[in-house]
A and B are shown apart, each in its own frame.
Chain A
Amino acid sequence: MSSNYERTAGSRKRLDAWGIAGWVFLLLLLVFTVVPLAWMLSTALKTQLGALQFPPRWIPTNPTTENFRMLLDPNDDIGRRFLRYMLNSLWVSTATTVVGVLVAVPAAYAFSRFRFPGRNSLFYGVLLRNMFPAVIFLIPLFILMRNLRLVNSYGSLIITYLTFGLPLSIWLLKGFYDNIPVQLEQAARIDGASRFQAFIRIVMPLSAPGIVATAIYSFILAWNEYVYALTFITDDRKLTVPVGLQRFFSEYVANWPGLMAAAFLMSIPVVVMFLVLQKYFVRALTEGAIKQ
């Protein structure tokens, strides 16, 4: 009894030492990520003059929402352009996500459930693309897009993002389907469902967290992408936000508050998506990894 007690006490103490180290590490990580974000928000609320003040201040002396108003005002020249970029990004990212999920779900399911000739080589073939840095494909894809007359179109970006995002989406989702016992579908088929009905009514709801995670992943990938958007799109009306921001940077080089406000607005959709769906996302990452 007493030795048992000591052992628990000992392990708790050891846990505490590791615990403290863990907390310190996490705290550093938190500071590292939060400080730039806080600085971004702080600067976005400053006036042009306030941003250049020395020594810099965390709390703006005359906080203003003028920068946001300017960016979100469709009657303002800058606002019109910024909103246009946002809409472009939204369209490209959403299309990438929707098409990606529509393709990845059946593909992953097939890889998980069916044995067909060439299954393995196809599966690893799908992953082959991810073994090379994306930049390698920049010139070949640009030439391809030019020949397809897709330069300066949203399509060029959607197709490109799909080729990057799909392999990992399929890989991620396959892990999900592998973990759903095949007997559930068999039971459904015996209970009166067709193969397709069994998939829609039994498998789909169970894989919802995985699908949500995959969707978020594709969306963020497309939303943040810069190099391809810069190369494929030259028409100012079709630029996506990351490239558009860079234009701001060069045209309004001194306007730090405006740039920070734009950066802040750009990060909102992703943050909101995470907050709404984080429950699924966490479940996806854990459930996909651990076998029941």
Chain B
Amino acid sequence: MGRVILDNVVKRYRDVVAVDHVSLTVEEGEFVALVGPSGCGKTTTLNLIAGLLELSEGNIYIGERLVNDLDPKDRDIAMVFQNYALYPNKTVYKNLAFPLQMRKTPKDQIDQRVRETARLLSIEPLLERRPKELSGGQQQRVALGRALVRNPQVFLMDEPLSNLDAKLRVQMRAELKRFHQDINATIVYVTHDQLEAVTMADKMAVMSGGLLQQYDAPDIVYNQPVNTFVAGFVGSPAMNLLSATVEVDGDTTWLRNGNDWASALDAKRGAIAQSASTDAVIAGLRHNAIHLSPTETPGAIPVRIYTVEPTGDLTFVHGYLGDLLIVASVPPGTQMHPDDIVWATFDLDQMHLFDGVTQMALASEA
């Protein structure tokens, strides 16, 4: 297993920049997820690592080698595709054997490796079948097996779970994570589903518009998003982002949004809010940082309920705070109904503050 280094990687298509000066290091044995909305450049980045696309600028290292000009076959990588890309005219056995054949491995070794891999993934009974005779989960495993069969330096995975149904996806997610731990593989994993990234990856690289927004462990990305994009993208339901102006009134710093609402900040947060480049800030509050109560309390802000979504262990309440639709969670069984007015208070300890102009996080909340 080796590490992967991207050094100022750029991919341009004529005048469109698909990947814009991305630099990151995937350490040996790390599971890194590239996440972002469609068109953010994550798959392009993966294809650049694979060598399926040519770099416009920058350097890519796999292991200790500079691979900029190497063919995919010479990069010592394996890839799992979204549609699995199993060779439809070959049996499972031959699909698994193909990477070894192409590397001129002796026949008896091929047989041994194929059977070993099949055993590891519990696909031994399927070896003589063809891909179209397999279920989605089985195809997924064969695709994984074909990647695994030759001990590459790095595994590249392009949305490998997105073609599976919900239940199987959860199961395969656990299997993939276990697989990563068992063989200590270096994995670069592309997904648009931030939940997959959060649950499986050691680190996640959040991309948007070709730019790397944040690259850190999932809990840090979740708890300390560097800007409003990351804050809004990671976590489900998305973080509420409330624009406000900072007003200082004696010792107290207030966040105010026109006549809709105002909220007093504590001293620490007041100072952070005042460090913004202008008086415009954005307050970020996750669903569990907004408390809703049916009765009015001092300083509480009225919210008109739009809809109520019970999910079993939590109930999400969507409502209008002024003219902004926000979402908050309440314990299950709480009696709230559409068009009711309820009263919201903010949990200041869990409030993120962003500069209203630059959209960047203000100070650190640590």
Contacts and interface: CB of A to CB of B under 8 A. Distances in A.
Contacts of A195: 71
Interface string B62-94: 000000000111010111011101011100000
Interface in A236-258: none
B99 interface: yes
A190 B79 contact: yes
A183 B71 contact: no
B83 A183 contact: yes
Interface string A186-207: 1111111111010000100110
Contacts of A183: 81-83, 85
A191 to B, nearest CB: 4
28 contacts: A181-B83, A181-B85, A183-B81, A186-B50, A186-B52, A187-B81, A188-B87, A188-B98, A188-B102, A189-B72, A190-B51, A190-B52, A190-B72, A190-B73, A190-B75, A190-B77, A190-B78, A190-B156, A191-B73, A191-B99, A191-B146, A192-B99, A192-B102, A192-B103, A193-B102, A197-B102, A205-B89, A206-B88
Contacts of B85: 181, 183-184, 186-187
A287 B273 CA distance: 63
Contacts of A193: 73, 102
Interface residues of B, number: 23
B95 to A, nearest CB: 9
Interface of A: 181, 183-184, 186-195, 197, 202, 205-206
5 closest Cβ pairs, A-B complex: A192-B102, A183-B85, A191-B99, A187-B85, A189-B72
B89 A206 contact: yes
A117 to B, nearest CB: 12
Secondary structure class of chain A's binding surface, majority of residues: helix
A184 B52 CA distance: 12
Nearest to B152: A190
Contacts of B89: 205-206
Nearest to A191: B99
A187 B102 CA distance: 12
A16 B51 CA distance: 57
B159 to A, nearest CB: 11
A203 to B, nearest CB: 10
Contacts of B82: 183
B98 A191 contact: yes
A65 to B, nearest CB: 45
Contacts of B52: 186, 189-190
A197 B72 CA distance: 13
Interface in B255-286: none
A183 B86 CA distance: 9
A184 B95 CA distance: 11
A197 B104 CA distance: 14
